[in-house]
Amino acid sequence: MSHAQSRTGNISRMESRPEPARPPGWLPKAEFDSIFSRVPRLCVEVVIMAPERGVLLTRRDIPPNVGAWHIPGGTVLFGEPLVETVKRVARDELGLEVVVGELLGYIEYPSHYDNGLDSPVGLAFATEVVPRLPEAKELPDGCEWFSSLPEGLYEEQRDFLIGRLGFEPFGTEPADQ
């Protein structure tokens, strides 16, 4: 997968499966980079929360910002409905099937633009995992539940989770679940 279209791409604890066929609207990396160096990039954020576990975050294993915690998300492909994008990103990045709930808000990323990257805008959707929430040991490598937010989380996402969803900042331990 192009790093620009999948943030983690890491499902190593899951059964290995053949790479899915590219959906319509998928761009070769050079074309993607050329286009999104000049225009805003629409993304979705897959927000998975549980009262007893917190929020599910993933650690980036591809540039930019390798090692940063983030809300799983990805680029909306040309002609792709938003709900389908959320489902695709949850499947591709987390190996999970989700039901898409309400739009929680949007996240702008001035840090990307200020650092010469691109200009993404993420629409954050509440989601519910079906048939059930995975236990910590069932998550892909680099995914953890957090009841308070870890250091190293994207600043814009931290501000969103604190301001919009009431999370506590900068806990250093993942939730026990």
- Beta-bridge partner residues of 120: 41
pLDDT of 68 > 50? The answer is yes
pTM of the predicted protein model: 0.79
What is the DSSP pairing of strand 120-130 with strand 41-50? parallel
CA–CA gap between residue 135 and residue 105 (Å, rounded): 27
- Per residue in 16-50, pLDDT tens? 556 667 777 788 888 888 887 788 889 999 999 99
DSSP letter for 153, please: B
pLDDT of 10 > 70? The answer is no
